Amino acid sequence: MIYGIGTDICDVRRIRASLERHGDRFALKVLSEAEFKTWKARSARWPERGVRFLATRFSAKEAFSKAIGLGMRMPMTWRLCEVGKLASGKPVIVLHGVLKDWCEARGLVAQVSVTDETDYAASFVVVEQKEKNP
Ligand SMILES: CC(C)(COP(=O)(O)OP(=O)(O)OC[C@H]1O[C@@H](n2cnc3c(N)ncnc32)[C@H](O)[C@@H]1OP(=O)(O)O)[C@@H](O)C(=O)NCCC(=O)NCCS
């Protein structure tokens, strides 16, 4: 059954401004270790793609935080919720640490979709709860 849904829209210009003000420190606050490596590589090749990568991750994590009903409150943290990618290009939510434990204890599984246009990035997350005794 569906446990929760979450959506978020993020202003890419605000992310760009935060990066200009705080540099890597801002990216390190939002991104997991694996995401940070991808972000570094993309930013080095094409800074604008780095900004958009960070904006879509920012919106996906906020959307996930709403879908699980916590918002950005423990055990939900930016870095424990990672947006990975399958070989097909489809994004997937990969959880870590106490957030992973919290979701596993409740049988929660997430699906995510992200998009971006010139000034905005947006995400939608559906969280399902697996049946205990199917
Ligand atoms: C959920 C959260 C990440 C959204 O932050 P935001 O980017 O500033 O705001 P957005 O416009 O994207 O989303 C706001 C909407 O999120 C929804 N929302 C708020 N808390 C939520 C929760 N725990 N679960 C799911 N959705 C939530 C609400 O519908 C809210 O809109 P509304 O106030 O008009 O009803 C943020 O509010 C948060 O972390 N909340 C938890 C911490 C908290 O409650 N702090 C205040 C303590 S009093």
Would you state the pLDDT for residue 132? 73
Rounded Cα gap, residues 43 and 53, in angstroms: 9
Q: Where are the alpha helices (DSSP H) in 23-83?
A: 24-30, 33-45, 47-67
Does domain 2-129 sit in CATH 3.40.190.10?
Answer: no
Q: Is the pLDDT of residue 23 over 70?
A: yes
pTM for this prediction: 0.93
Q: What percent of the chain has pLDDT over 70?
A: 99
Mean pLDDT of the chain, nearest integer: 96
* Mean local confidence (pLDDT), 2-27: 97
pLDDT in tens, 68-96: 999 999 999 999 999 999 999 999 999 99
Ligand 1 atom with minimal separation from the 9 CA: 12
Question: CB of 69 closer than 6 A to ligand 1?
Answer: yes
Asked whether the bond before 75 is cis by omega within 30 degrees of 0, the reply is yes
